[in-house]
Structure 1
C-alpha cells in the first residue's frame, strides 16, 4: 500500500468495531482501549463483525484520514489466536491482510544467498 506516508507503526485492533464509528469514535478507541496516541503517525486497523470491511485510521500531520476497504465475496482473515487486544504488523503483513491472506504465523522471508 503506497498511499500512506511512512507510518511509524501499524497496529491492528483485534476486537470487532461498530462501523458506524467514524474518525472521532475510532480515535477514542485508539486512546482509551489501545492506550496509544492517534496523533503518532501510526496506522490503526479496525474490522467489522462480519469481517468483510476494514477501516484504517491515521494522522498525516494535517489531519486525520480514514481509509476503508470492503470485500465483495470473501472475509478478511482476522487473527483469532492471539491473546493480546492489539497486534503490531509489518508493512508486508498489512499488504497480506489487505490481499486476503492469513497474517498469523507468516514471517518475512530473508534470503542470505542465491544457490543454483
Structure 2
C-alpha cells in the first residue's frame, strides 16, 4: 500500500485519463489542468474511462513515484463528473476506492473527534 503518512491531501481527476500517460504527461495535467503544483506533498489520482485502471502520481524529495493498479475483475467505484476538473478526498476514501468500494461507506466506523482518556 502507498505510504500516506507524509501526504497532505489526495486529489482525484474528475475526468477519465489516458493510461498511456506517464510521469511527464500526468504532472503536466496536474499543473495545467488542475492548476496545482505537482511538486506539492499530495497524491494525484487518475482513472481510465473503463474504471479498471488507476495511476497515482507523487513527488518525493528528489524524484517521482508513479503507482499503477490494474484490476483483474471489476471496476473502481469512481464516478466521473466532467463539470469539475479535480476533487479532494481523504486518505481513507482513497483506500476505499482502491479496495473497490464507493466513497461513501454508511457501515464504516465514524471518525472519533472526542479525545478523552479519563
Q: Find the aligned partners of 2:18 and 2:92 in 1 and give their Cα distance.
A: 26
Give the distance between the partners of 1:33 and 1:82, measured in 2 at CA.
Answer: 12
1:18 aligns with 2:18: yes
**Alignment partners' CA distance in 2, 1:99 and 1:88:** 18
Shift of 1:84: 2.4
- SS at 1:36 equivalent: coil
The residue number in structure 2 matching 1:99 is 99
In structure 1, runs of 5+ residues without a counterpart are none
What residue is the counterpart of 1:52 in the other structure?
52
- Check whether the contact 1:79–1:104 (CA below 8 A) recurs between aligned residues: no
Q: Is the 8 A contact 2:15 2:80 kept in 1?
A: no
> Is structure 2 residue 6 aligned with structure 1 residue 6?
yes
Deviation at 1:4, TM superposition (A): 4.2
Partner of 1:109: 110
Once residues 108 and 41 of structure 1 are traced to their aligned partners in structure 2, the CA distance between those partners, rounded to angstroms, is: 27
CA contact (8 A) 2:4 2:91 kept: no
The 2-side partners of 1:2 and 1:64 are apart by: 13
Cα separation, 1, equivalents of 2:62 and 2:5: 12
Give the aligned partner of residue 78 of structure 1.
78
Between Structure 1 and Structure 2, how many residues are aligned? 113
**TM-score (norm: length of structure 2):** 0.84
Which ranges in structure 2 are unaligned for 5 or more consecutive residues? none
Structure 1: how far apart are the matches of 2:26 and 2:81? 23
